[in-house]
Structure 1
Amino acid sequence: MTHSLRRTSLLALLVLGGAGAQTYSGPKVQLTFLHGFTGADRPVMERLIAQFNSAHPNIQVRAQAQPWGTTWQQLPSLVASGRAPDVVVINEDQITQFIARGAVSPLTDAELKAAAINKARFYGPLFKTADYEGKSYGVPISSVAYVMFYNKDLMNKMGITKVPTTRAEFLKAAQQCTADKSGKKAGQAGFDKANLDTWGVSLYNNWVGSRMAYAAILQNGGSLVDKNLNANFNTPQAVEAVQFLVDLVQKHGVARPNSTEEAELAAFSQGKVCFFPSGQWYTDRFEQQKMNFGVAFVPRVGSQKDAAWGGSSHLTLPKQRAGYDANKRRAALEFINWMTLPAQNLTWTEAGSLPTMPAVASNPKFAGRPIAGIFPKLGSIYATSGFPWSGQVLGPFDNAWANAYSGKQSVKAALDAGVSESNKQIQQARKSFQ
């Protein structure tokens, strides 16, 4: 990036609130901050906290990093005993259940306004991930997504000049990429789908693989749960969407049957597959391998809208004991605002996060980076949240995908069985929320 571009970028961030005018002017307070950024992202988080403390002499944040699972185990008892941290980071797959259990306090519109936290600066579905029953409970600090990697060299070799964005384009490109050991292409007479040399797309049988099915269901206008928050992933729209993906394996032969993520990851790295849908977290790996690859938003294989799965982390304020210092809550909101401003979010992308807002996605820093290929559609990323019983929905859904993809069951039978099992589990889970 040139000096002039850096300067333009910095000015843009400052205009958009990158510097952040301090809104807390009360007495000096100390805040406890619990988060699970324990890997390569931890030094970035610690650097940001140090910067905040330096810029806010009347607020000092003391952070504790620990594994996410430890926080999920400890948070209910910490809240119940009146020892909750002032601020805690909760991920998208856990936040709704903690909200429903009363462990997280809502952020009122008046509080958000007073702290200069503007919902509109974030991607809409991302911010709403921490909403429940019409109230906001968190502000996004981090975001990841399911994307589609593509191997440029193999695409060029197979004569594919355009990254597919529709169902028809995706199927055609996948067929062009697929050849058996004798050189026959998918769809040609004599093609042997059990003896592939190269293939069009990677599908696989774990939870990450099922997120492609989730995306296709959303794209078709379906969902995982209905308005009553019961499992609902066996509607006609859902069956049709998942059937298309299963057909890529069983009918068209453009994906390997019952493969694993590890096997497909190796195949993509070795130039054996054109399209590898997976988590955006593999971007650094492919860059380090110096692969000639690109990153695209998941093709719209459904008929209604663009959609892909996304994960996220949100800054929340746990429920506190009676008589909790109102100054600490105001200071905590100041901390949340500062940590989620454009300048800090730009820094946080160094830790592997996607931009949480358009102001950061448009930064010249990302010019020419493969991951920028999905930036125009970051507003179409949807988390599996909004229902308190995430495990009771996602476990059976992932299993249903694996059974359909492997051919153990028909798509409809697999989804029907998954919904039946999910609703049994939800019925039990509801008792703990009453």
Structure 2
Amino acid sequence: MGAGALLSACGGGSSPSNPGADTPAEPAADTYDGPSVELEFWNGFTGGDGPFMKQLVDQFNAEHDAVTVRMTVMEWADYYSRLPAAVTSGRGPDVGIMHVDSLSTNAARNVIMPLDDVATALELDSSDFADAVWSAGEYKGQRFGIPLDVHPLGFYYNKTVLEEAGLDPEAPPMDRSSYEDALEALKSAGISGHWMSPHAFTGSMTLQSLIWQFGGSLFNDDGTEVLWDQDPAIEALTWMVDAINDGYSPTDVGQDADAIALQNGQAAFNWNGIWHMNNLNEVPDLEWGVAPLPNIGGAPAAWAGSHNFVMTTQRSPDDNKLDAARVFINWVSRQSLAWAEGGQVPARTSVRESAEFAELTDQATFAEQVDYLRFPPAVPGIGDAFEDFDQALNEAVLLTKEPADALRSAAERAAKKLEENRNRFGE
């Protein structure tokens, strides 16, 4: 999932300088011919995608005699809290993975270094990436992330439950009218069709997607204004709350209970991330399907996150390690089909449009949304504002506040945080 909720855990403090950051890289992207080096590679792949990354690292090490990559895996919350301190003390990794919504904060803190020279050396440009994910890796006109994947929200459905309610298990509802008709049919069959989560994961992702579908935005383009107190957001959150009031969803849905309900046959629908397919594949005899998010608001849109390669700021940069890191990033990026098998959509268009990727039918279904995926603006500390957004979701879906009141008070608090962060980061 995206790391917006984790940004506040990164902490402040002084940042090291970045000597040599403006030195152009030599375009040596395919092979490394220097002395033997060991690269530290940190990430938070503790879930089902972890073994796939380990296999890639092991394969890279087997194919490169002079480069050894040592991978350290930790929970994402620990990763984002430990990384700034490690870099400041000179013990940071050479290469890391970072969610796209964390790049600007860590760039502003000088935790990660600009990668325009790396992109040039690897001959990477926007022509081989979806516009949204390529642009999301930039901050103040510089590139700080090399996209590895996108992981969007999608629409899971339980075929057995649909059939029990007299609905076509091979034709899930894909617009507002048919979706609401299906929920009514499920209700008549004694089934709560879509459990509305009041939690950031995955309720916040659902609400964000709906706001964009209803024609709204979370922020203005440069991230200086909060816009989720406007009519499209109110309409989106009201739709979620109405599902509870109309009996289509139970009240007070627990964390992950929406996903578990789909697995257990208690719900028909679940909006969840692409990573969730790994969990469903492990449930014996579960008949499930996946589709792009239904278009409830009128405009196709879906929340998405993205894992990006980053290189951390070093007190004393080692040119050999920098060259080896470029080779490693380039090599893994080219293996993104293998990474997709772990439950991701490749960031590279050339891989995403390949016949081999099309054979990964579930992942390819998620990829159908790539042209209308949305990411937050590249603003340092943007995750602080999302804390208030998530609180508004929680209050409304738990029926303790009306949607409009919850969103407006949250927007006021978030606007103050955005202003404080502009002063804090010198924006």
TM-score by length of 2: 0.82
Structure 1 residues 226-278: Cα deviation after superposition (integer angstroms, max 9, x where no partner): 2343332112222222222222222x432223323444334323333221112
- 1:37 aligns with 45
Which amino acid counterpart does residue 408 of structure 2 have in structure 1? D
How far apart are the structure 2 equivalents of 1:150 and 1:143? Answer: 21
CA positional deviation for 1:171:
1.9
Residue ranges of structure 2 left out of the alignment (5+ in a row): 1-27
Following superposition of structure 1 onto structure 2, how do residues 263-282 of structure 1 map, counting pairs within 5 Å? 263-282=257-276
Structure 1 residue aligned with 2:161:
154
Q: 1:293 aligns with which of 282, 288, 296?
A: 288
Whole-Å separation in 1 of the counterparts to 2:260 and 2:72: 36
For 1:348, the equivalent position in structure 2 comes to 339
- Offset of residue 426 of structure 1: 3.1
Residue 135 (structure 2) pairs with residue 131 (structure 1): no
Shift of 1:314: 1.3
- Cα distance in 1, alignment partners of residues 208 and 173 from structure 2: 19
Q: Which amino acid aligns with 1:320?
A: Q
Give the match for residue 284 of structure 1.
278
SS at match of 1:198: coil
Q: Note if contact 2:152-2:366 (Cα within 8 Å) is conserved in structure 1.
A: no
Change (3 A) 1:199 1:50: closer
In the alignment, does 2:401 pair up with 1:406? no
Match of 1:308 in 2: 302
1:309·1:384 contact (CA, 8 Å) conserved in 2? Answer: no
Displacement of 1:40 in angstroms is 4.4
SS of the residue aligned with 1:211? helix
| Matching of residue 66 in structure 1 with residue 59 in structure 2 | no
Following TM superposition, by how much is the alpha carbon of 1:398 offset from its aligned partner in structure 2, in angstroms? Answer: 0.9
1:166 equivalent in structure 2: 175
Q: Does 1:378 align with 2:373?
A: no
Aligned length: 393
Amino acid at match of 1:349: A
Give CA-to-partner distance per residue, 1:21-77, whole Å, 9 cap, x none: 725445544332222224444443233223223333343333333333333223223
Q: Matched residues in 1 for 2:126 and 2:266: separation?
A: 43
Aligned residue among 411, 416, 419 for 2:408: 416
Shift of 1:117: 2.8
1:177 aligned onto 2:186:
yes
Are the counterparts in 2 of residues 203 and 277 from structure 1 also a CA contact under 8 Å? no
Alignment check: 8 A CA contact 1:294 1:371 kept: no
Structure 1 residue 358: Cα displacement: 4.1
The residue type paired with residue 170 of structure 1 is: Y
Secondary structure at 2:148 match in 1: strand
Alignment correspondent of 1:78? 86
Distance 1:259 1:115 in 2: 46
- Displacement of 1:376 after TM fit? 1.7
Provide the C-alpha distance between the structure 1 equivalents of 2:85 and 2:45, rounded to a whole number of angstroms: 21
Question: Which of 339, 342, 345 is residue 332 of structure 2 equivalent to?
Answer: 339
Letter in 1 for 2:323: R
Identity over the aligned pairs, expressed in percent?
28
In structure 1, how many angstroms separate the alpha carbons of the residues matched to 2:263 and 2:131? Answer: 34
Structure 1 unaligned regions, length at least 5: 1-19, 184-196
- The structure 2 residue matched to 1:220, chosen from 211, 214, 218, is 214
Looking at structure 2, the residues matched to 34 and 270 of structure 1 have their Cα atoms a distance apart, in angstroms, of: 35
CA RMSD of aligned residues (A): 2.7
* Whole-angstrom distance in 2 between the partners of 1:234 and 1:266: 31
8 Å Cα contact 2:41/2:96 also seen in 1: yes
Question: 2:110 maps to which residue?
Answer: 102
One-letter amino acid matched to 1:403: E
2:136 partner amino acid: T
From the superposition, tell whether residues 71 and 198 of structure 1 become closer, same or farther in structure 2 (CA, over 3 Å): closer
